[in-house]
Structure formats: C-alpha cells, structure tokens
Structure 1
Amino acid sequence: MSAHQQGLLFAFFGALVLSFDAMLIRLADTSEWQVLFWRGGLIAIAFGILTWLFKQRIVYPSQPHLWFAIFAIALMYGLNTTLFVYAVSHTSTANTVVILASSPLFAALFSRLFLQERLALRTLLTIAVAFVGVVSIVYQSLGSGHLNGDLAALALAISMGAVLTALRCFASLPLFPIIALSGVVAAVLALLNIEVAPLDIRWQQAQWLLIMGAIQIPLATWLLMSATRLLPSAEVSLFLLIETVFGPVWVWLAVNEAVPENTLFGGTLILGAISLNSVITLVKQKNRTS
C-alpha cells in the first residue's frame, strides 16, 4: 500500500470516527458543563499519556515566544472545545457541524490578513457563498431559542480558523502537549460554571463520556494527524466533510433529531462551495507535480 493510500485510509476513518462526536454528547444526556468537564479531563489524561509515550519523538522549542505560542494555542483549543459542547447543547447538531464546516474559509481569511498569503478568486467566491449559507442557517434561529447555539457554532468556526492559521504559522510545535493542555483549559472552564458535582452522574451517562474522551477523540485526532503528514491539506479537508454529513445522521438515528429545513439549504451552499474549491485546488496541485 502506497503512502497516499495510507493517507486516504487515515483521513477517511479519522473523519468517520470524529462524526460520532455530537451523538455521544446527546447520548450522555447531561448538562453541557458536566460534558465539558469529563471531555476536557479525559482529553487531558489521554493526550498526557500520549505525550509521555512519544516523549522521545517530541521536540520542544527553545525560544520563549514559541512557548507562549504553545500556551496561546492550547487556550484557544480549550475555548473551541467549550464552544462545541455549548453549541451542540443549544442548537441542532446539523446547524453546529454545518456552520463549523466553514472554519477553513476563516483560516484562509486569517492567513491573508496575518501571513500575507494570496487568496485565489475562487476562494473569495467560496467564502461569499458559504457566508450566505451561514446567514440562512442563523436567520432561521431568530426567535427559536437556538440563536445562542448557532452564534456559538459561528464563534467556533472563526476560532478554529484562527487555530488552523496559528498552527500553520508555528508548524513545528508539538501537538500532543498542546491538546493535553487544551483539555485542562476546558475542564477548568467547566468547573467555573458547573452547578452540580462533576462526578454526580449515572454510569449510563459516564460510559458515553468515557468513550468520547478516552477513545473517540484521541483516535480521531491521531488518525487525522497521520493523514495530514501523507496528504495535501485540500484532500484532508474534503474528508472532514464526512463529519458534516454523517454527524446529523448518527444523532437522528440515536435520538431522532430532525435536520431543520433551512439547514439543508445553507448546508448545501457551504458544502458545495467548499467541496468544489477543494477539488479544484487538489487538481491544480496534482497538475503542478505531474
């Protein structure tokens, strides 16, 4: 099996495992702050163990400003985890994952603003079409009680775009310690807001949280990190759309949560624009190397 074929398998299964994220939150059936505490704590433990296991391969920076970057990115990652759990808890799964799918477009904007990277015309058109899709999804939530969740998903997409840009700028930073620290940030934020004892949950709830924090998130992260080393970013971003498509399906099968009508329209715009842009980018990259 070639390295490219291995990358395809890693990307497919990584995105597929990641797509169960929202379903596990729904099945846990507890407050967002309890979910966040367990999710953050287990991620911190899991990636702390991975950091220790791979300590011989991890290269830590010697410059102080790179250590600042590690803590800043970990803080943003922790906030992203918080926003995701809050969004899933306060709006539909479909709204959350479809709006989140626009994060690569925000990353492109941030790369233009801060890294002075040129944006192709097709990327600008993709951003414009995706923006219409996001607005149509958020608009349907006005007065529905889901607006806060949709806005949290939008904030998550923007913040994730910032994280992707920061990781691109500081590509040499070790990811396992960053993700472990982000879990600590999320758990601390949960403790500051939780109104009940974080361990005061039933075993039926705890088992879903254990699966999510100790198995699903670490496995998906490892698979996708492996894929990014073997495939172009445009190709990996196409596979990430698996979460956007299948995430709402798993939740519908598990708890019979329907997809809002406007989300189908907005999601079609966002996914169609991103897919087309990624395919064109991928074709151009392959033509250059052939």
Structure 2
Amino acid sequence: MTETAVSHAGSHISRREERIGMLLVFLSALMWSFGGAIARFIEVDDSWTVVFWRSFWAAVFLLGFMAWRDGLRGTLKLFRSMGLPGLAVALCFAVASTSFVVALAYTTVANILLMQAGVPLFAALIGWLVFRERVSGPTWIAIAAVICGVAIMVSESFNGQVSPIGDGLALLIAMVFSIATVITRRFAHVRMTPATCLGTILAGIFAATQVEAFVVSPRDMGFLFAFGALNLGLGLAFFATGARLVPAAIAALLGCFEPILGPIWVWLIHGEVPSARTIVGGAVVFTALLVHIGLEFRRQSRPVRPGVTGMPSPH
C-alpha cells in the first residue's frame, strides 16, 4: 500500500501505475463493503456515538500509518503540503460521512444506494466539464449498466415516499464523493492520505457535538475499532493512494463493488438472504464492472506505438 510519489501530472501516469491504482481502489471498495456486516454487531443505540468512535479510530489508524511510513516530520510535512486540493478532499469526506447518518433519518438505504450509483456518472461529467478529461464509450456504457443494476437491487425497497431532505442529502453524498475522486485524480502529485485523515477528524468533531454519550461497552468498542480503523481508515488509505493513478470515472466505477459485495458479507456472516432482485441487480453490476476492467487491461496491454509516450489514453 505504498504511496509512490508522483512528481508529474496525472496524465503522465504509466500503465503499470494505473493498474496498481485500479487494484488499490478495488481494495478500498472491498474494505468499505464490510461496513454493513460489522455494523450489525454494534449494539450502540445512538448513531452519533457510532460516527464519533468510527471517525476517531479511523483518524488514529491513518495518523499511525503515516507516522510509520513517513515519520513524524514527514507526516507534518504532508499535512502542510496538501494545500487547497487536500482541504477540499477532506471537506468532501467529512460532508459525505456526516450526511450519510443524517440522510438515514429521512430516507431509505435503498434511495441512498441508488444515488451512489450515480457517482461514476457525476465523476465523469465533472472531469469532462472542469478538466476536459474525455470519457470513452465503453466507460459510459459501464456507467449506465451500473446505474440500471443498482436500480434493480433497490427497487423492492421503494415505498413511494419522497423526502426532499433525505434524498437531497443522498444526492449530496454522491456529488461530494465524485468531486473528491476527480480532485484526487487531477492533483495526482498531492498525497491525499492526510486529507482523508483530516476528513475523519472533522466528521468526529461534528459528531462529538451531537452525541448523547461517549461511553460504550468493551465489546462494542472492539467492533467500533474494526469499523473505524479497518473498514473506514484502511479503505480511505487504499482509496487515497489508488484514485490518483486512474481516471476519475473508472475509480468511481470500481467503487461500485462496495454495494455489490456488502450484501454478500451480511448474508454469509449474519444469514440475511438477499432478495432475488438484489441478486439479479448485483449480477448486472458485477458483470459490467468485470467486462469494463477486462477491456481496460486489454487496452493497457497493447504495445505503445512508435513515437507515443507510455502514458495511457485519456478517458
């Protein structure tokens, strides 16, 4: 999980680095997908208490990781050098993690998941409008397939009730995560691990102002540690390292493995059998992602034409 320094712009990232980036972003989605299964073990009633301790342990993990990798002075230097791009990414992750908890009080998880299916589309549009990062035809097709697949997965949960606040926050989550993905890719020379760490700190501070009680049982604290350090913190470290190496639309697509794998872990660990529509929708998304990733690796394996540098074609 070494975060290789990149001294050149994101468009000059080599094919090998791009492949590593794709693997790391997938690993971030894999770690995040365990969130639902871990949360089932936590018996704390106040959701803000969960947010606080999850953010706390994620921040501790990320600070420890950076201190181990870069030393104390190097870690401080990383925070000072992340600049406005890093601050923007930190705010995005803080807003996303906080809005998720608030949105659950107004709308269904199904609606939030459907909004999150739009992250690849939002990331592609933002990258194209702001930075003129072209999106290929196969990527657009994969984005459409992902949205359709997630729509099938959550269709059974729709009850016809629309909450402007809840659905607005769900849309906000998708937008800020898309912005964070695009910024991380665009400013590939900036290490975003301290930015994600700052995001967890900000989310924890806000949760501390809303929490009813900080005391939890030793059993719950153990699961909260896993929920924060491994599920959130390690996932953020993978994402911050990998998203800077791949096009924003592809990074967002790989992130869609999270809502696909999540129900599988809950099923295997807690015996909650997914519905037929969940299985069908998940199969659509999983197939679309595998096909698109296979096409990407096939494209990257083609020999570079004479006179062309080793950078990948823009998407």
- TM-score for both structures, normalised by structure 1: 0.75
- Pick closer, same or farther for the CA change 1:209–1:11 going to 2, 3 Å: same
Matched, 1:119 2:135: yes
CA distance in 2, matches of 1:75, 1:128: 28
- Pick closer, same or farther for the CA change 1:126–1:150 going to 2, 3 Å: farther
Matched, 1:29 2:46: no
- Pick closer, same or farther for the CA change 1:76–1:221 going to 2, 3 Å: closer
CA shift for structure 1 position 16:
4.2
| Percent of residue pairs identical | 27
- Pick closer, same or farther for the CA change 1:96–1:282 going to 2, 3 Å: farther
Q: Which residue, 168, 188, 210 being the options, matches 1:193?
A: 210
Matched, 1:51 2:72: no
CA distance in 1, matches of 2:127, 2:103: 26
- Pick closer, same or farther for the CA change 1:152–1:259 going to 2, 3 Å: farther
Assess if the C-alpha contact under 8 Å between 1:101 and 1:271 holds in 2: no
Unaligned runs of 5+ in 2: 1-15, 306-315
Could you tell me which amino acid in structure 1 is paired with residue 137 of structure 2?
L
Could you tell me which amino acid in structure 2 is paired with residue 70 of structure 1?
G
- TM-score for both structures, normalised by structure 2: 0.70
State the Cα deviation string for residues 35-79 of structure 1 (Å, max 9, x = none).
11111112222222333331455654988xx62222221010112
- Pick closer, same or farther for the CA change 1:9–1:135 going to 2, 3 Å: closer
Could you tell me which amino acid in structure 2 is paired with residue 29 of structure 1?
E
RMSD, matched Cα? 4.0
Unaligned runs of 5+ in 1: none
Assess if the C-alpha contact under 8 Å between 1:46 and 1:218 holds in 2: yes
- Aligned positions, number: 282
CA distance in 2, matches of 1:10, 1:165: 16
CA distance in 2, matches of 1:146, 1:24: 29
Assess if the C-alpha contact under 8 Å between 1:238 and 1:278 holds in 2: no
CA distance in 2, matches of 1:9, 1:67: 27
Residue aligned with 1:28, SS = coil
Matches within 5 A, 1:207-226: 207-223=222-238
CA shift for structure 1 position 229:
8.5
**Counterpart position of 2:281:** 266
CA distance in 1, matches of 2:193, 2:147: 33
